Structure formats: structure tokens, C-alpha cells
Amino acid sequence: MRFVLILVFCFLLNGCFLVPYKIEVQQGNYIDSSMISLLKLNMTRDQVVYILGTPLVIDPFNRDRWSYVYLEGRTGNTEKKRDITLIFKDDKLVRIEGGE
């Protein structure tokens, strides 16, 4: 009987050390260096969308500012892989910020 209790106790104690599975998280627009190199100043918005896709964030107070963000990592521990901001004027691309 003592052996069974010790065995049950060991199984219960072992359950306390289990770590829950954390899924891989990928959010935002996947952007690599080759996509960024295709961007040129004076491109139209449609040309930019064709290369990078729809922006993750369009600033509601400034429609000429688009942000592309890509996050990667495990649940609760994501890190920013890429952050690009595009500035338009008269529907033409005038500035590219970020992109490291």
C-alpha cells in the first residue's frame, strides 16, 4: 500500500512541473529585404500594396502614413522582426522609415 501511495504521489508531483505548450506566433505582414529593395520613391499606393500587401496599420489621423509590422515568437514572448513606415504625399511614396 505504501508503494502505491508513493507512486501516486510521484505522478501528482510530476504533473506540477509540466509546462504548457506555447504555439509559434506570426502576426502582421511578412516582409523580407528583397521586398523592401523593390520599393522606390514616387510609387503609387497600388504598386506598394502589390509588393508588400495591405498595410497592418493605416493611421486614422494621417491617411498618408502606412505601417507594416511583423511579429514572431512564442506565445507571451513575441519580438518585432520588422517595422516599416511608408509616407505618401499626393498618392506617391515620398519616404520609407525603418526596415532594418
> What's the sign of the alpha-carbon dihedral 34, 35, 38, 40?
negative
Domain 23-98: top CATH class: alpha beta
pLDDT of 16 reads 66
CA–CA distances in Å: residue 32 to residues 2, 15, 37, 84, 88: 61, 42, 9, 11, 21
- Give me the residues of the chain with pLDDT under 50, please: none
CA–CA distances in Å: residue 46 to residues 30, 66, 87, 98: 18, 13, 14, 21
Strand (E) or helix (H) holding 9: helix 2-15
pLDDT of 83 reads 82
Domain parsing of the chain, residue ranges: 23-98
C-alpha–C-alpha distance, residues 24 and 76, integer Å: 10
pLDDT of 50 reads 93
pTM, full prediction: 0.66
